[in-house]
Amino acid sequence: MLKRETAILFVIYSAGLILGEVIILKVDDIDSKRMMIHIKQAKGRKYRYTVLSDTALKILRQYAKEYRPKDWLFPGGNEGEHLHDRSVQKIFKRACEKAKIKKNATVHILRHSFATHLLEGGTDLRCAILERGYMCIASCSSGSGDPFFIPINQGDNPPVFRVFHDFGEDTDLILKEGMSLVAEKLSDFFRNAIV
């Protein structure tokens, strides 16, 4: 059984979301045809699209099959409410404890890691801009008004979305291992990411 906590942390990292964005995601914000997530109330009350990896889609499909969310993708404890930000912070803290991470970290480190790994993987720097001191990805326009990603490398080194983002064949392992695998992967990159 896939734990909800695993799906939440996976979506935050793999899509580069901030805490306020993940808790207000609705089921219909997941666009599996275009492989994008629609963020309707991003920073500055703007909307944007971000990437939905094959692995994230598989995780979300398994999550939806088991939890049957109706409106909010991650519903809260009270009927009709979304998950509270403090709940996600607690989930993240437990994952860090399980990974034996002693350094003080917040959920926001997942977003920074997402941006760092995109750039390391070859995503065009022109699509990574600073907005109020935070990395904002997917701000380029395709001409249709829809933001998108521009990969810079298409040869031998295509863009790589590391850690949770592109497990490829290991999706079944994520579904099976859940928080243990998330904790292990968190541990791997937090050791270097947290000052």
- pLDDT reading at 42 higher than 70: no
In this prediction the pTM is: 0.65
Among 4-8, 23-27, 133-137, where is mean pLDDT lowest? 133-137
Say how far apart CA 61 and CA 75 lie, in whole Å. Answer: 16
140: β partners? 148
Confidence of residue 75 (pLDDT cuts 50, 70, 90): very high
Say how far apart CA 75 and CA 173 lie, in whole Å. Answer: 25
38's CB contacts (< 8 A; 6+ apart) are 29, 31, 47, 49
- pLDDT reading at 97 higher than 50: yes
**Domains recognised in the chain with CATH numbers:** 4-189 (1.10.443)
Residue corresponding to tokens 């947290």: 194
Q: What is the mean pLDDT of the chain?
A: 68
Confidence of residue 50 (pLDDT cuts 50, 70, 90): confident
Q: Which residue has the higher pLDDT, 192 or 156?
A: 192
Kindly state the percentage of the chain with pLDDT values over 70.
53
- pLDDT reading at 146 higher than 70: no
